[in-house]
Copies of this chain bind each other. A is one copy, B any other.
Amino acid sequence: MMFKVENLKLLQAQLRKDGLSAYLILTGDSHASEYAADYFLAERKYFCPFTGSAGQVLVTPEKAYLFTDGRYFIQAEKQLRGSGIQLMKIGQKDVPELSDFIKREKLYPLGVNCSMISLNFYRKLTYKEGKIVDTDYSNLVENRPSLPVGKLWKLDEKLYTLSCQEKISKIGKEIEQIGAEANLVTTLDDIAWILNLRGSDIPCNPVFYSYLYISPKYGNHLFVNLNKIDFKIEGVELHNYEEIVDFIDKHADVETLVDENRVSARLVKHLNHPISGRNPSYLMKAIKGKVEIANTKKVHILDGLAMLKFISFIDENIDNNLSEYDYAEELEKYRRENELCYDLSFETIAACGPNAAQMHYAPTKKINTIVTPDQMELLVDSGGQYLGGTTDTTRTFAIGPLSKEYIHDYTLTLKSVIALSTSVFMDGSSGVTLDYQARKFMWNEGMDYKCGTGHGVGYMLNVHEGPNGFRYRIVPERDDSDKIVPGMITTIEPGVYKEGKYGIRIENNLVCIPAFETEMGTFYKHETITCVPIDTKALDISIMSDDEIEWLNDYHTFVYNNLAPLCDAKLLKVLKDKTKKITR
């Protein structure tokens, strides 16, 4: 299933034959997943060498374009070399949006697999008489993988606040309030959350391919490969995954709530009375219950212990010419030493020097760099899936001789983390209200990181989750700018990325909690739950305020108090050293 230039040429010849002006290859699946099983990624991988987790390939009989965002510019430029595919940097001046580009170039008839795009995206592609052909070219792909077959598993009762039945009942009430009779849920993390079930269909994302139909009137129905499930679910009827279309056809006249940003354009056309709106589960899932929050906090301590062992390992091995990949493997080992850890929450990013400037660089067994003592830094962004929560942490470790510029930028990054982490805000504030608190330090110096400042984190689920997030402007298709309320867990991960030089990022996970209530309003703040020492070697204390120094020392006290009881004597020494007070 590997990319070769000939694959692309074959596809282009087929487009000519079929009379299509262009064919659009999506990264994703029929469930609006960010990460998808290889079954769905077959075409993207076969016709394009880019390996990032976000990007759309537009192929015309003569040309080909990859549209991707700022996280992947550097990586994509490298990987596309020699492929004949032109990189379109989304968000940059003069780079049109994909749909605008298609319209401007009048690339119709346009071929696209309509089970891979949302109804709203379909609408964006629609242009006057321009014909959209629902088709796909997976038949051209050699050795296309099949759909995954891993078993579903139930969460232990101690792992959730609300039972599946309670969640379904809440959803039933919400949809009735907006005048719908049913809710067709197609997003996998919502389904897993509602049912208190998990699967293993997508690496690092413990979900399972399925559809869930919730209706106080017509019953609740789960559509999933029945070979994957060997238990019953109270109040939910089971069907095979493929039966969803027949079922919807039979219930076509039911007033059905569907999220038009997420449901596939092909499926929604079978409904005669779709009611457009968000799935109630999208917000419910983000506001973690008491059990989920308590568990996640515990899990962050376990994760912190793994990270502490790793920090100690770096110090001991810096002269041993280990590769980034070796470090990533070592860290995974420490995480998996804990029996509650059942997966990583994403592929570990371990990147030194210029590699770290690529926001989502991940070393592989084949392609990686040796971390030598003259590198400035090792950036490690990683997380685990635990029975009790999902983590996502970044630390950037100073390794060799540091430039003044690096020290300055590292300190700015920490200042960004602190400013946003300590912001008090009134009910109604979103991540857009608060994002500038992190970004101002970079913007004041003409720098910017080309990504959001943070994202919601799932509970034993996807590491990226909405509708909470931090970014400086609303990106409608991300749907992550809801008001932030107590119970939401969000990352804060500002950074500085300088192509060819270095990359710096510090990332914590925070839970929103009440701050105070006055006659003028209800106010919230955040509590940091990541429990990992922040490297202080590269700090320029002279540009830190007293409050910032105090914050860091308080944070390290918190880390020390939580990790110390779990350390042996040797590790305790490391912990003491890594969390020691800094002073002017």
Q: Is the CB of A426 within 8 A of B444?
A: no
Q: Is the CB of A423 within 8 A of B440?
A: yes
Q: Is the CB of A523 within 8 A of B436?
A: no
- Whether A520 sits at the interface, judged by CB under 8 Å, is yes
Would you give the shortest CB distance from A507 to chain B, in whole angstroms? 20
Q: Is the CB of A483 within 8 A of B474?
A: no
Q: Is the CB of A424 within 8 A of B436?
A: no
Per-position binary interface string of chain A over residues 446-459, scored 1 when its CB falls under 8 Å from any chain B CB and 0 otherwise = 11101000000000
**A448-B521, A474-B474 given; A433·B430 CB < 8 A:** no
Closest residue of chain B to A472 (Cβ to Cβ) is B433
Q: Is the CB of A518 within 8 A of B424?
A: no
Closest residue of chain B to A442 (Cβ to Cβ) is B520
Contact of A432 among B423, B432, B516 (CB under 8 A): B432
**A425-B436, A436-B429, A436-B436 given; A520·B473 CB < 8 A:** no
- Whether A85 sits at the interface, judged by CB under 8 Å, is no
- Whether A434 sits at the interface, judged by CB under 8 Å, is yes
Would you give the shortest CB distance from A64 to chain B, in whole angstroms? 27
Contacts of A450 in B (CB 8 A): 520
Would you give the shortest CB distance from A69 to chain B, in whole angstroms? 14
Residues 410 to 424 of chain A near chain B (Cβ within 8 Å): 423-424
Per-position binary interface string of chain A over residues 211-224, scored 1 when its CB falls under 8 Å from any chain B CB and 0 otherwise = 00000000000000
**A428-B473, A483-B473 given; A520·B437 CB < 8 A:** no
Q: How many copies does the complex hold?
A: 2
Closest residue of chain B to A496 (Cβ to Cβ) is B520
- Whether A313 sits at the interface, judged by CB under 8 Å, is no
Which A residues contact B (CB, under 8 angstroms)? Answer: 93, 128, 179, 423-426, 428-430, 432-437, 439-440, 443-444, 446-448, 450, 472-474, 483, 516-518, 520-523
**A429-B436, A434-B436, A436-B437 given; A446·B483 CB < 8 A:** no
Given A432-B432, A446-B517, A446-B520, 10 new contacts (CB under 8 A): A429-B472, A430-B473, A433-B436, A433-B473, A434-B436, A443-B523, A446-B516, A450-B520, A473-B483, A474-B474
Would you give the shortest CB distance from A97 to chain B, in whole angstroms? 14
Report the Cα distance A128→B72, complex, angstroms. Answer: 47
Report the Cα distance A423→B440, complex, angstroms. Answer: 8
Report the Cα distance A258→B439, complex, angstroms. Answer: 37
Q: Is the CB of B428 within 8 A of A443?
A: no
Contacts of A483 in B (CB 8 A): 473
30 contacts between A and B (CB under 8 A): A93-B522, A128-B179, A424-B440, A425-B436, A425-B443, A426-B439, A426-B443, A426-B472, A428-B472, A428-B473, A429-B436, A429-B473, A430-B432, A432-B432, A432-B473, A433-B435, A433-B472, A436-B436, A436-B437, A437-B440, A446-B518, A446-B521, A446-B523, A447-B518, A447-B520, A448-B520, A448-B521, A450-B520, A473-B483, A474-B474
Contacts of A472 in B (CB 8 A): 426, 428-429, 433
Contacts of A434 in B (CB 8 A): 436
Q: Which 6 A-B pairs have the closest CB atoms?
A: A446-B518, A448-B520, A433-B472, A448-B521, A432-B432, A424-B444
Report the Cα distance A520→B521, complex, angstroms. Answer: 38
Contacts of A430 in B (CB 8 A): 432, 473
